Structure 1
Amino acid sequence: MKNTKIKQLTSYFLISGLLFCSCSSSNDAGINEETAERIEEEAQQPTEDQKIVWKNWYLSVPINRGNGKATSIFYKTIVNDALTTAQSEYFYKNTDGSYTMFTKFTGITTSGQSALNDKYCRTELREFWRGNQDTGDNWSMSTGTHILESTLNVDFVEGNGRTIVAQIHGIETPGLEGSPATVKIRWNSGEIQIDYYTKPDSGKPWTSAFDEKINVGFVGHDIFTFKIKIENGKFYYGLVCEAKNINTDYTFVFDYVGNGYGHDNYFKTGNYFGWNSDYKKTAQVTLHKVVTNHY
């Protein structure tokens, strides 16, 4: 009798164990399926590059979007590596995490189709300062502090040896004329040059007719970081190039708000090629890191 009970108990535990394992396996399968689905969904979501917050930028390349204007490429396309073959000629990610920005004069500019010796072409990033995908949302020099730090090197620039690697660009603002390229940071045959607008004559808009230029350091083809800061309406610059022993802290250049500047603005960085005399010359910049800060 005792042996019979033992056998019955043994059978009970064996069956219970099998049922438990069966249920566990079924639950695990469900969990694994859910996990796999979640991982797949996450893989499809754009991820932020630690060196560049891509939702704060969009890219222009000199390819006709269909109306004679340059093609705009937005952040999801970049982070998901979904550029077309034609677009990837102008912009692509390198194995070290940097980005190559190649350009040439194609006649396709951000403002429309251009003949030779007229406008210029670019492979360049344009800022969305708060991550809003809206070119109408820009910042004012009259409030807050606004900083751009762009780390790059110029691989080569054919033709006249000039390309613009960073900008403060004004936008059409109610009551004001034009959309000024207020501050341009130019690589000029290895020399870093600041080209900045100063106060125009009474009644005149802010244009290059009133600009000034200063050279601030020779970086050649080495990696450098150019810094722009607007604080209390004033423009400051900084420049760091370890290979050339350059470490220039923020230096005052011009008081924009104090001189009546009222345009809203955005930052730009990249490769805005200063050549438009033929379709053959090219320029290439490698972008390593971009930091913006607004507070």
Structure 2
Amino acid sequence: MQKMETGYSIDGNGGAVQGQQLYLWTTKTTNVNQNWVQISHGSGYYSYKKEGTSLCWDGGTGGAKRQAVTLEVCDSSNYDQHWKKVKVTSGTEIYRFEKRNAPGFSIDGNGGAALRQSLYLWTSSSGNINQQWELTRTDDTSSGGSGGGSGSGDHNLDASKAPSGNFDLLDWYLSIPVDEGDGYATSIKEVELAASYEDSYFYTGSDGGMVFYTPVKGVTTSSGTKYVRTELREMLRRGDTSYSTSGKDNNWAFSSIPSSSQSAFGGIDGVLDATLAVNHVTTTSSNNEQVGRIVIGQIHAEGNEPIRLYYHKLPGNNNGAIYFAHETSKSDGGNETWYNLLGSMVSSNGDLNSTSNPSNGIALNEEFSYTITVNGDSLTAKISQNGSQLASKTINMSGSGYDDSSNYMYFKAGIYLQDNSSNDSDYAKVTFYKLTNTHDNYNP
């Protein structure tokens, strides 16, 4: 966001410092301190989050001349952090940022431009060049920007809309690592999620992708979980709360269960199809089994997980490996077997098998697709890119204990962070460009 007729842009200084006043600094698109994630609140209002942090522009209470614009913890309900983009010149990306609850005031860069020149509020005027900012997308730079991956195609996504404007999210609820008041993670249920919900953990990137952001430090979903997540959980009831979350009609089953029991479920068998780019993973732990490791897709049963699909990139490697774990049902003992898809990172019992760079792996910001398919006792995980298959593995689940009607299934997608030993400020970020879930006997 460059001040017009200068070579200076809005900068938030290094790291994440609450109360830091925004200032001008020499424009450099690869400078992450000048990368801002645009979060839509509808009606033309946005928040701007500093890339890789949970801090947003804040104009302070009310409005007054020379009132500082600072970085504060993002709060989607705080109108001090809502800004209206007022187009200054048609046919350009030049805007004025007007404070939502004080529309008589806009962000002003003061006269001229100099290093560390502070930003503040001043009387709104589109003709004031100090309030004119030229927006440039940075999502294709090496810093990862606010979404986007190398080689990403045209997905017909609208960056001005919340994720629900580009994806059917009535089939999902969202977990974010924020205390709901009971010590556990907050759940955003289907209807709220599908009504243009966004926050600093889940938002639309500048390329229209659906962005998931998960810090190392955060609350978990239960006492039995040691890792945090920003993750979608499939909900076949589509907002009809007369069906319980754990009810059979809100979930699905494998067609290997008795045919007489199948009609009780919301669907039978299933396919989860996703296109995404992993933008950032943790880097600050010395524990190679945890650092850089996330789960990007799952099938969850009532107890265990028939599949957890991992992306795992070590700090010294250019590429990340992709592998999955298959866990048998709890009634069958809950044993796990691990399978490599790209790279040979893990052994069959899940131990770290190799720390070398997987030459056939996936780099950060590189777009790829995964498909998880269940047909009876057959489970297939496939990785592809630009329509070409990179890897595929099918396993037989006939001995896994999921062929009884007491088990129910649901897909999950997003980030389930597998690192609690990196620095609290470290994080993972993933952008989805496609996410579909289908089942037999299910017609949403």
TM-score by length of 2: 0.47
What secondary structure sits across from 1:280 in the alignment? coil
Q: Structure 2: where are the runs of 5+ without partners? A: 1-160, 256-261, 263-267, 284-290, 314-319, 343-360
Q: Does the CA contact (< 8 Å) of 1:183 and 1:196 recur in 2?
A: yes
Is 1:197 equivalent to 2:301 in the alignment? Answer: no
> Which amino acid is the alignment partner of residue 305 of structure 2?
A
- Show CA shifts across 1:16-49 (max 9, x none): xxxxxxxxxxxxxxxxxxxxxxxxxxxxxx9995
Output the amino acid matched with 1:182.
P
Task: Determine the structure 2 residue equivalent to 1:260.
Answer: 401
Q: What letter corresponds to residue 363 of structure 2 in structure 1?
A: G
* Structure 2 counterparts to residues 93-242 of structure 1, below 5 A: 93-112=204-223, 119-133=226-240, 134-136=244-246, 137-142=250-255, 144-159=268-283, 160-171=291-302, 179-189=303-313, 190-198=320-328, 204-206=332-334, 210-217=335-342, 218-221=361-364, 222-242=366-386
1:135 and 1:284 mapped to 2: Cα distance? 27
Hey, what's the Cα distance between the residues in 1 that align with 2:424 and 2:207?
30
* Residue 145 of structure 1: how far off its partner (Å): 2.7
Q: Could you tell me which residue of structure 2 aligns to residue 55 of structure 1?
A: 170
Kept in 1: contact 2:163–2:197 (CA 8 A): no
Asked whether 1:291 is paired with 2:436, we answer: yes
Instruction: After TM superposition, give the deviation of residue 132 of structure 1 in Å.
Output: 4.7
2:417 and 2:163 mapped to 1: Cα distance? 28
Which secondary structure state, in structure 2, belongs to the residue aligned with residue 135 of structure 1? coil
Q: Would you say 1:90 and 2:205 are equivalent positions?
A: no
Worse-matched range after superposition: 285-294 or 215-224: 215-224
CA–CA distance in 2 between the matches of 1:259 and 1:105? 32
Q: Retained in 1: the 8 A contact 2:220–2:228? A: yes
Give the one of 189, 192, 195 matched to 1:74. 189
Distance 1:51 1:198, change over 3 A: same
Q: Percent identity?
A: 29
Decide whether the 8 Å contact of 2:341 with 2:392 is kept in 1: no
Does residue 273 of structure 1 match 2:417?
A: yes
Do 2:300 and 2:412's aligned partners in 1 also have CA atoms closer than 8 Å? Answer: yes
* RMSD of aligned alpha carbons: 2.8
| Contact 1:57 1:74 (8 Å CA) reproduced | yes
**Runs of at least 5 residues in structure 1 that lack an aligned partner in the other structure:** 1-45, 172-178
Query: Taking structure 1 as reference, are residues 232 and 181 closer, same or farther at Cα in structure 2, changes over 3 Å only?
Result: closer
Distance in 1 of aligned mates of 2:179 and 2:162: 28
Contact 1:51 1:289 (8 Å CA) reproduced: no
Match of 1:16 in 2: none
Amino acid at match of 2:425: K
Distance in 2 (alpha carbons) for counterparts of 1:157 and 1:97: 21
* Structure 1 residue 107 displacement after superposition: 4.1
SS state at 2:183 partner: coil
Q: Tell me, yes or no, if the aligned pair for 1:51 and 1:290 is still in contact at 8 Å.
A: no
Deviations 1:107-162 (A, max 9, x none): 411114x9xxx700000000013525541221111353311011111001014010
Q: 1:109, 1:47 → 2: CA distance?
A: 25
Give the direction of change, closer, same or farther, for the CA distance of 1:51–1:127 in structure 2 (3 Å limit). Answer: same
CA deviation after TM superposition for structure 1 residue 191, in Å: 1.1
**Match status 1:64 vs 2:179:** yes
Corresponding residue number in structure 2 for 1:5: none
Distance 1:123 1:199, change over 3 A: closer
Instruction: Give secondary structure in 1 for the equivalent of 2:193.
Output: helix
Contact 1:229 1:237 in 2 (8 A): yes
Count of matched residue pairs: 228
Q: TM-score, normalised by structure 1?
A: 0.69
SS of the residue corresponding to residue 77 of structure 1 reads helix
Residues 152 and 223 in structure 1, CA contact (< 8 A), matched pair in contact too: yes
CA distance in 1, matches of 2:363, 2:272: 21
TM-superposed deviation, 1:247: 0.9
Rounded Cα–Cα distance in structure 1 between residues aligned with 2:252 and 2:222: 22
Give how far 1:78 is off: 3.3
Q: Shift of the alpha carbon at 1:246?
A: 4.7
- Larger proportion of helix: 1
1:4 maps to which residue? none
Please tell me whether the aligned partners of residues 163 and 210 of structure 2 are also in contact (alpha carbons under 8 angstroms): no
| Change over 3 Å in CA distance of 1:265–1:82 after alignment to 2 | closer
Aligned residue identity for 1:194:
F
Deviation at 1:280, TM superposition (A): 2.2
The code of the aligned residue for 1:77 comes to E
